[in-house]
Structure 1
Amino acid sequence: MANRFQSPHLLWWIIIGSGITIVFLLAHLPSLLPLHSLGGLGSFLSSLIVTYRTLFVVVFWSTVIAHIYEAVVARRICQQLRLDQQSTFLWMIQTFILGFPSLMILKGYVRQR
């Protein structure tokens, strides 16, 4: 099969990328966030960090593990579709970063086949 790569809408890149970044910062580097500047939301997040920091760490690493699994699934689908190595690499990286939206586009190619 030819080189077949498609990216999800830019909105997914913004939502998922910023979401994972914020959860990482809340879990591992909360001092980098300007929580004092966010008013009530900042106070709420500060209390969550103090009380449930372990939960943020678990959520972040669970997300990373889920995205690794999705990237492996994307690789298997690319092998089924007989995509070239470059396309497979792009699908795996994109699926690792975005997860579900990328995987759904790739699964759409399987249904068309």
Structure 2
Amino acid sequence: MARSDGSSYFRRSALVWMLVVTLSLSFFTWTVFWPQDVPYSSLGPLGALAKHLVDYHYPVLYYGWFLTWLIHLFEALFALKVCSDKGIDSTSTRLLWFAQTFLFGFASLGLLVKYKPDGRPKRQ
């Protein structure tokens, strides 16, 4: 748990968000890199939408996949700045925030942004 000075504050994202993001990005990766292996007919409306996007808008999916990870990278770098701003100095804790934010995006970054270290004035 976090020390009282807040220099090693870390909270894990909610399991639900971790599951949603992991499944979503996994399905996105599957449709972009192995679209021939996706069982579209077994996935109902999601399969129909994915099939349509693969058939008619594949470049958007392909470049969108890279853009998604680029956005996650920028969120993770922003998490490092927020850690500095909030006085989280532990290198291992900052690395945890970076990795978690890179993998789960706003599901992690939101927890860090909401954190109010003791002794710092709260913005209104």
TM-score interval for Structure 1 and Structure 2 normalised by the shorter chain = 0.7 to 0.9
Shift of 1:43: 4.5
> What is the one-letter code of the residue matched to 1:19?
S
Shift of 1:31: 2.2
**Percent identity of equivalent pairs:** 26
Q: Which residue of 2 aligns with 1:42?
A: 47
Deviates more, 1:16-25 or 1:102-111: 102-111
Asked if residue 54 in structure 1 is aligned to residue 59 in structure 2, the reply is yes
Note if contact 1:24-1:57 (Cα within 8 Å) is conserved in structure 2. no
Q: 1:79 to 1:43 in 2, by over 3 A?
A: closer
Q: Which residue, 8, 13, 17 being the options, matches 1:8? A: 13
Shift of 1:40: 6.1
| Separation in 1, partners of 2:15, 2:45 | 30
- Following superposition, which runs of at least 4 residues in structure 1 exceed 4 angstroms of deviation? none
| Separation in 2, partners of 1:40, 1:6 | 35
TM-score by length of 1: 0.85
Q: 1:89 to 1:52 in 2, by over 3 A?
A: same
Q: Which residue, 79, 85, 88 being the options, matches 1:82? A: 88
Greater fraction of residues in helix: 1
For residues 6-36 of structure 1, give each alpha carbon's deviation from its aligned partner in whole angstroms, at most 9, with x where no partner exists. Answer: 0121110011111111111111211232224
| Separation in 1, partners of 2:28, 2:79 | 24
TM-score by length of 2: 0.79
Deviates more, 1:81-90 or 1:41-50: 41-50
Q: 1:34 to 1:65 in 2, by over 3 A?
A: same
Deviates more, 1:95-104 or 1:23-32: 23-32
Note the residue ranges of structure 1 that are not aligned, 5 or more in a row: none
| Separation in 1, partners of 2:19, 2:103 | 11
> RMSD across aligned C-alpha pairs, in angstroms?
2.0
